[in-house]
Chain A
Amino acid sequence: MRYLDDSVLFSLRLSLQVAAVSTVLVAVSGIGIAYVLARKDFRGRGLLDMMVTLPLVLPPTVTGYYLVMLFGRNGLIGRYLYELTGWSIMFTWYAAVLASYVVALPLMIKTARAAIESVDPNLVNASYSLGHSEAETFFRVVLPLSRRGIIAGTVLSFARALGEFGATLMLAGNIPGRTDTMPIAIYTLTSSGEWTAANFMVLLLTLVSGFFIYTTNRARAV
């Protein structure tokens, strides 16, 4: 196929790689945060809830802006990182991972939290009174019983990470052969009028995302 030239393949591979890595991070931390929000009462719970939900409603450019302020070479955290190591996350594929992570995280937390909250608290109490610690109870009772929601959240996060554009552009830029994930490559192709290649990429991204949404719905229906 003549459309599958190197740059298209690179973008596809980069997109999948960024989405996969960020989804793993989203799943692990998202389930943890969802559990804490669902089961624990502590000061600052409302604030944490708000902060992890914000990227869902903010324009990705605003999320990206915050990330630049935090992790940019002169950012609050990025400054020290750069001083210490001479390395900055800006304009690397890690930046794309970070952007996708922050934007996809709320989807995971929302879905997983609803699933964890739907686990009958009596089952948790029963597990405690049968001698099992909170951690054991989490892995043997809470997690298996909220499995479906967690799988759905993971797939949804992956699809979202795959389609991430705004925050990625702010943080990772548009460097051909380095940080041009599919959505960014599509943007470049469109602005330079390369319609054939753009069409192909758009179709590909739609199919891949559609497949994941379909899988999520199936997982929910089972």
Chain B
Amino acid sequence: MGLTVDLQKEVKGFTLDVSWRAEDGITVLFGYSGSGKSMTLQMIAGLMRPDSGSIRLNGGVLFDGSHGVDIPPQRRPLGYVFQDLALFPHMTVRENILYGAGRLCRDERRVRAEELIRLFRLGGIEGSLPSEISGGQRQRVALARALIRRPEALLLDEPFSALDNPIRVEMRRLLSRIREDFGIPIVLVTHDIIEACTLADRIVVYAGGRVRQAGPPGEVLGNPAGPDVEMLVSAAGTAGLQLPAGLHMN
């Protein structure tokens, strides 16, 4: 069970070669911009084709280079929240959410949409266009749209980077709620170590297209695999992040 990723890809002099596993709960892909985190998500979603490797989700194969399996993005049971959210500007909040419902029957779609509108506190703005609502609300619409199909995993590409701090805090709380309610692997890409540490059950540290270290946040912070990882996570120390009890930074 869970999401297993093993990918190789070469693009214009950049080589991505990563392998990791995500169980239920939040797995954070952490690293500098350009280390291949977003690219990994795109390949999991089927929007970019890896050169080789495999992607498995709950026992099903989404991609297998050696057996020529490449499930199209439409048929991958994933929720994907894009960095810029990619809400459809010509559709209302409700239409955006329903657009994710796919082939469910009409009543089911309606019921689920109402559920999500309640869960994400979007009541009252269902008829508004994305351009008419706040950044935090747009964020919640994107999450609702990604979740209405009940995906087997949720992919979030720097979802909170464009938000003001108080809203980010609120979003993190919401994400914890999604984590409890949906019980699926959530993969979140970020270059913000604070965000990584507050949210993650597990951190996968990316550097230059490779995985440098993977483990619970305490372990990565407390025992970095090398000076480069120490550099990467050092911002957490300077920002005065509280480590879980029993752990201390080197």
Chain A residues in contact with chain B, CB under 8 A?
120, 122-123, 125-133, 140-141, 144-145
Contact = CB atoms under 8 A, between A and B. Distances in A.
Contact of B73 (A120, A129, A140, A145): A129
Given A131-B149, A132-B102, A122 B82 contact: yes
B144 to A, nearest CB: 12
Main secondary structure of the interface of B (DSSP, over half): loop
Contact of B100 (A123, A131, A140, A144): A131
A128 B88 contact: no
Interface residues of B, number: 23
Contacts of A145: 88-90
A131 B71 CA distance: 12
Contact of B74 (A120, A131, A141, A144): A131
A67 B103 CA distance: 47
A73 B130 CA distance: 58
B46 interface: yes
Contacts of B102: 130-132
A147 to B, nearest CB: 9
Main secondary structure of the interface of A (DSSP, over half): helix
B83 to A, nearest CB: 8
A129 to B, nearest CB: 4
Given A129-B78, A130-B100, A130-B145, A123 B73 contact: no
Contact of B45 (A120, A129, A133, A144): A129
Contacts of B88: 123, 126-127, 141, 145
Contacts of B73: 125, 128-129
A125 B90 contact: no
A140 B86 CA distance: 14
Given A125-B47, A125-B73, A130 B149 contact: yes
A170 B99 CA distance: 51
B132 to A, nearest CB: 17
B63 interface: no
Contact of B99 (A122, A125, A130, A133): A130
Contacts of B75: 131
B160 interface: no
A145 B47 CA distance: 21
B80 A140 contact: no
Nearest to A132: B74
A121 to B, nearest CB: 9
A125 B89 CA distance: 14
24 contacts: A120-B86, A122-B86, A123-B88, A125-B47, A125-B86, A126-B82, A126-B86, A128-B73, A129-B47, A129-B73, A129-B74, A129-B76, A129-B80, A130-B99, A130-B102, A130-B145, A131-B75, A132-B99, A132-B102, A140-B99, A141-B88, A144-B90, A145-B89, A145-B90
A130 B74 CA distance: 6
Nearest to B72: A128
Contacts of A130: 99-100, 102, 145-146, 149
A129 B146 CA distance: 9
Nearest to A125: B47
Given A126-B86, A131-B102, 11 more contacts: A120-B86, A122-B84, A122-B86, A125-B45, A126-B88, A128-B47, A128-B72, A129-B73, A130-B102, A130-B146, A132-B99
A130 B155 CA distance: 12
Contact of B86 (A123, A131, A133): A123
B74 A133 contact: yes
Contacts of B47: 125, 128-129
A123 B72 CA distance: 16
A60 B209 CA distance: 55
A129 B149 CA distance: 11
Given A131-B74, A140-B99, A126 B89 contact: no
A145 B88 CA distance: 9
A135 to B, nearest CB: 11
Q: Top 6 nearest A-B pairs by Cβ distance?
A: A126-B86, A131-B102, A128-B73, A122-B86, A129-B80, A130-B100
A125 B149 CA distance: 16
B238 to A, nearest CB: 34
